[in-house]
Amino acid sequence: MKRESVILPSQDALPIKRPDMTIPEFTPPRRLLLGPGPSLVHPRVLRALSSPLLGHLDPVFLSVMNDIQVSLRAVFQTANRFTIAISGTGSAGMEASIVNVVEPGDCVVVGINGVFGNRIASVVERCGGKVIRVEAAWGTCIEPDAIEQALVRSGPVKAVAIVHAETSTGAWQPLEDIGALCRRHEALFIVDAVTSLGGIPVEVDRVGIDVCYSGSQKCLSCPPGLSPFTMNDRAVGIMKSRRSQCPSWYLDMGLIDGYWSEGLRVYHHTPPVSMLYALREALRLVEEEGLPARYTRHQMNSDALVAGLKELGLVPLPAGGRALPMLNCMTLPAHIPEADIRAKLLSYYGIDIGAGLGPLKGKVWRIGLMGESSTEAHVLTLLNALESLFIEGGWLATPGVALQAASRMYSRLPDRR
């Protein structure tokens, strides 16, 4: 019997082997996460991650999904039946919000005042939609008058998409007036709440938001990997009556609805079971603190941080009360070597803060005080480290000024955390 010839790879093509062929144990260094995400995670959430796995159709796991839906409705402030956690980061939620309701030829007004508005516009274009860009300077907000002009000028508009908390600039976008405009012009209102959910009020039902998405790793203080997502009945109806098939199978909410709907539970994909354990526990922590107290905590710690940073010569980028409390975007004096200071914060003190993006690169720091990262101790730790580095660089003559400014802010408040 004739044997088939076997061609062996040359010696040069064989993989390079380590002597022992073992991967060493990995122990991550301890970091104080004060960047634009992820935020620190509570030990209870980490314990939940290590719980034994269940099958994704196990009745006990389905009850975990039910709990998550109830808790997410409370955080989103909505009664929407379709409220779930998408298997993917906030970017998956962004894409899902567009691909399920936008069809080729649909006009979508997109507010663009930073990185993430541009990303929404890109997804609309990839779906074959027509983007009507309403732009504002980075660090400012989209004005309702500009949205109204675009709605009037552009004829029938399928949706208006706005970033509530622009992570690249620290701008806090007001939503209520734009929501009213969307209802008046019969356009869907799509809101990116990736950085805002759990840190400032989102109020989906009151504002009139039709589709809203977020991320697990910001103010909810769960590891990255899930995107809280909600659609009202109006948006669900538009999704189900679309003329063309959803271009994404994985993010087809019409299919995923069958898995998350109690009484149906039709298999779509295997979700990240351990991550859903973690999100459930993170949401329990949110409920225990209460949303009003959580919002107050984020604002209080931001006020103290900004007061201290101003003593070091830094200035908030967003003006006129439009600055986010959970993502503080601060402009540095031109003579401060921002990248060098950030590197020393990380290597000397284990503190991680964010750099500027796009046109803000080299000009700003993005300092996150989100969820578990938002505490008085973390604010004072960062300011103390920055004072030391500024003194070392010769940019600060009087030690303690930043810490004193922050402490004065805390001393005015009866409830300090």
Mean pLDDT of 134-147: 98
Pair 372, 220: CB distance under 8 Å? no
| Three-state secondary structure call for residue 122 | helix
Give the separation between CA 310 and CA 90, rounded to whole angstroms. Answer: 32
Give the separation between CA 57 and CA 88, rounded to whole angstroms. Answer: 19
Residue 248 one-letter amino acid: S
Residue 183 one-letter amino acid: R
The predicted-structure confidence for 223-242, as pLDDT tens digits, reads as follows: 999 999 999 999 999 999 99
Give the separation between CA 167 and CA 340, rounded to whole angstroms. Answer: 22
DSSP structure class, residue 74: H
What domains are there in the chain, each with its CATH number?
43-287 (3.40.640.10), 289-411 (3.90.1150.10)
**pLDDT given for residue 12 in this prediction:** 60
Residue 92 pLDDT more than 70?
A: yes
Give the separation between CA 195 and CA 356, rounded to whole angstroms. Answer: 16
DSSP structure class, residue 267: -
Least confident of 91-100, 260-269, 279-288: 260-269
Q: 39: Cβ–Cβ under 8 A, 6 or more apart, which residues?
A: 33, 217, 218, 219, 221, 368, 370, 371, 372, 373
Q: Which string of b and e fits 224-254 if b means at least 16 CB within 10 Å?
A: bbbbbbbbbebbbebbeeeeeebbbebbbbe
**pLDDT given for residue 320 in this prediction:** 80
Give the separation between CA 379 and CA 189, rounded to whole angstroms. Answer: 36
Q: Which two tokens stand for residue 125?
A: 């274009």
Q: Which two tokens stand for residue 43?
A: 């030990």
**pLDDT given for residue 417 in this prediction:** 46
Q: How many CA atoms lie within 13 A of 76 on its CB side?
A: 35
Pair 76, 207: CB distance under 8 Å? no
Helix (H) or strand (E) holding 90: helix 90-99
The predicted-structure confidence for 163-219, as pLDDT tens digits, reads as follows: 999 999 999 999 999 999 999 999 999 999 999 999 999 999 999 999 999 999 999
**pLDDT given for residue 175 in this prediction:** 98
Give the separation between CA 278 and CA 85, rounded to whole angstroms. Answer: 12
Give the separation between CA 145 and CA 41, rounded to whole angstroms. Answer: 40
The pTM for the full model equals 0.93
Give the separation between CA 215 and CA 335, rounded to whole angstroms. Answer: 35
Mean pLDDT, the chain, whole residue set:
95
Q: Is 281 exposed, middle or buried (0-12, 13-18, 19+ CB in 10 A)?
A: buried
**pLDDT given for residue 5 in this prediction:** 54
The predicted-structure confidence for 269-319, as pLDDT tens digits, reads as follows: 999 999 999 999 999 999 999 999 999 999 999 999 999 999 999 999 998
Residue 58 pLDDT more than 90?
A: yes
Give me the percent of the chain exceeding a pLDDT of 70.
94
Residue 261 one-letter amino acid: S
Q: Which two tokens stand for residue 116?
A: 């993430």
| Three-state secondary structure call for residue 211 | strand
**pLDDT given for residue 412 in this prediction:** 85
